[in-house]
Amino acid sequence: MIRKIVVFFICAVLLILKSYIYAFHRYPRHDDKHVYQTSSSYNSQKSLGDINMFSPVVELHKSLVDIPSVSYNETHVARFLQLYLSTRGYTIDLIGDHNRQNIYAYKGSREDAKVLLTSNIDHVRSGTPYEVVDGRIYGSGSLDAKACVAAQVTALEELLREREVAYNQVALLFVVGGEVFGSGGMVEVDKMTKPWKTVIFGKPSGLDLVSRHCGVVIIGLEGDNQVLVEMMQAFKTSIVSGTVNVEFADDERASVEIRFLGDEENVTTEVVDVLSRFRDVVFTYQSYPPQDFSCKVPGFETTVSSLSSDSPHLKGDFGRYLYGPGNMSLSHAPDEHVSITDLLEAVEGYRKLVLFALE
């Protein structure tokens, strides 16, 4: 028994030491001895060849993508962010289960911040390693949503360094479970006191402000394989009020995801019709309606998004914005990627949104 405890302790120390080395040596503390280019200076350069691959946002993004964080397995990337931000003077509150911790980072008092920058740290699939090809960064989670996380952190660091915001006006929140209906993530965060007047959510949006994003219905199914196959076909042909995606977990389990921008009642009616035809299937049902966001900010175009966000799970009377780098159609795709140009421009975009929210 004692031997097991000693081995466990040694493994824990080694894991923490590895994250510590990442945070301290890949990213030095921001002080007077270090000089950084801001995102705006990068944007003024004329070609990808001139872009410094060792800029703070690109470096941070690489470390995030290098750490796999498939939904329900976000521990290592959360620990990395905890160390990275604490070395920069943030107070870190860990919210949720100790195995799946959400990172709330702030300066000053916990309830000082008027603006919140937030995104999710989990992704849907693993196996695609970090790679840069022709100015594009590939890898699991590289677009959705680690590009947003890196850009949000860098934007706030620049604003603080240049004293464009007070040290306690803006907080950061990075959650688990963003790809699984907020499970363990924003659902847990929603229980805390929420002092913010504005929340800026990070999701790929092509650098446009999202005016509305899709509602989602997710149906979990268990039953005989042949019945499930027939049922999947029925969903594909019968659901006309939204876009249907089906996926088999194994021979006896499947899921159906329906994204829609119209009336949820129409989708529900179509789903009930399909379910009523297959009596010997056990199902679960989760849904939320389309979400609307503020989008009247000078200098930004607007778009409607086919993606979803954690906004439905965070209740509160505050302004909501949704913005991020990259093509939203590449989220969850095998060739998921974000361009370095978009990553750099997103830093500037988040800076502008924060300053606008504080006016």
Pairing of strands 291-292, 282-288: unpaired
What Cα–Cα distance (Å) separates residue 147 from each residue in 119, 181, 193?
10, 20, 27
Phi and psi (nearest 5°) for 109?
Answer: -85, 155
The answer to whether 224 and 199 are in contact (CB under 8 A) is: no
CA–CA separation, 286 and 267 (whole Å): 12
Q: Which residues contact 92 (CB under 8 A, 6 or more apart)?
A: 82, 85, 86, 103, 104, 105
pLDDT at 37 over 80: no
Query: 3-state DSSP call for residue 181?
Result: coil
Q: Which residues have CB under 8 Å from 210's CB, separation 6+?
A: 203, 293, 295, 302, 303, 304, 305, 322, 323
Q: Quick one: fold of 36-210+293-357?
A: Aminopeptidase (3.40.630)
| pLDDT for residue 266 | 95
The pLDDT score that the predictor gives to residue 344 is 97
- pLDDT-derived band at 46 (thresholds 50, 70, 90) equals very low
Identify the CA nearest to 125 among candidates 139, 106, 113. 139
SS3 233: helix
Residue 128 pLDDT greater than 90, yes or no? no
Confidence at 108, pLDDT banded by 50, 70, 90: very high
pLDDT attached to residue 45? 42
- Region 7-25: mean pLDDT is 50
Instruction: Pick the more confident residue, 2 or 142.
Output: 142
pLDDT at 23: 45
SS3 of residue 89 by DSSP: coil
Residue 189 to residue 43: CA distance in whole angstroms: 35
Q: Among 3.40.50.1820, 2.40.160.40, 3.30.70.600, 3.30.450.20, name the CATH number for the domain at 215-288.
A: 3.30.70.600
| 217-239 residue pLDDT tens | 999 999 999 999 999 999 999 99
Tens-place pLDDT, residues 257-292: 999 999 999 999 999 999 999 988 999 999 999 999
pLDDT surpasses 50 at 335: yes
Query: Order of strands, edge to edge, in the sheet holding 91-95?
Result: 91-95, 102-106, 170-175, 115-120, 198-202, 319-323
Edge-to-edge strand ranges of the sheet holding 282-288? 243-250, 253-260, 215-222, 282-288
Domain boundary assignment for the chain = 36-210+293-357, 215-288
Cβ atoms of residues 144 and 128 within 8 Å: no
261 Cβ partners below 8 Å, 6+ apart?
212, 214, 215, 242, 290, 304
Q: How far apart are CA 190 and CA 314, in angstroms?
A: 5
Q: Check pLDDT > 80 for residue 178.
A: yes
CB of 59 within 8 A of CB of 27? Answer: yes
Taking alpha carbons only, the member of 145, 177, 146, 138 closest to residue 334 is 138
Q: pLDDT, tens digit, for every residue of 307-320?
A: 889 999 999 999 99
More confident residue, 42 or 99: 99
Q: Is the pLDDT of residue 92 over 50?
A: yes
Share of the chain above pLDDT 90, in %: 78
Average pLDDT, the chain: 88
The Cα 259–Cα 288 span in angstroms is 10
What's the rounded mean pLDDT across residues 117-124? 96
- Residue 3: its pLDDT value, please? 59
Reply yes or no: is the peptide bond before residue 145 cis, omega within 30 of 0: yes
